């Protein structure tokens, strides 16, 4: 009933930029937090950035000053602007949303399928 679809990934040169988008759709009553995670080959999935419905943000230390997370609550969409990309940031980037589907149900975390970001010359 709830689906998250990421877009905007691709191949970029070191030092370049990409803007990722993630749109949530389906049976959504409200969304509290949304965020981006990434998983590189041979590594665990790690948090990149999160944003609450009120606009409070958190970033992984290595991306501070280079990445910016934002959201459009009306469209249930979260964005990640990535600047000065590094080769070691090559990974599959996943969108996450903490969704309430009704007044009676609790909050559950949903995940997108992921989008590949490759940073190479």
- What pLDDT is recorded for position 105? 83
Across the 121 residues of the chain, what is the mean pLDDT of every consecutive 10-residue run? 95 98 95 97 96 96 98 96 98 97 90 97 93
Residue 17's nearest CA partner among 86, 74, 65 is: 86
Q: What are 45's two structure tokens?
A: 């999935």
């Amino acid at each position: 009933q709830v689906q998250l679809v990421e877009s905007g990934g691709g191949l970029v040169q070191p030092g370049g930029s990409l803007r990722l988008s993630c749109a949530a759709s389906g049976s959504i009553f409200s969304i509290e937090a949304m965020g981006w995670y990434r998983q590189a080959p041979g590594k665990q999935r790690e948090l990149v950035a999160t944003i609450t419905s009120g606009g409070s943000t958190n970033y992984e230390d290595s991306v501070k000053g280079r990445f910016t997370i934002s959201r459009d609550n009306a469209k249930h969409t979260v964005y990640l602007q990535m600047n000065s990309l590094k080769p070691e940031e090559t990974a599959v980037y996943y969108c996450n949303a903490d969704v309430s589907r009704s007044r009676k149900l609790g909050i559950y975390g949903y995940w997108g399928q992921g989008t590949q970001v490759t940073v190479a010359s």
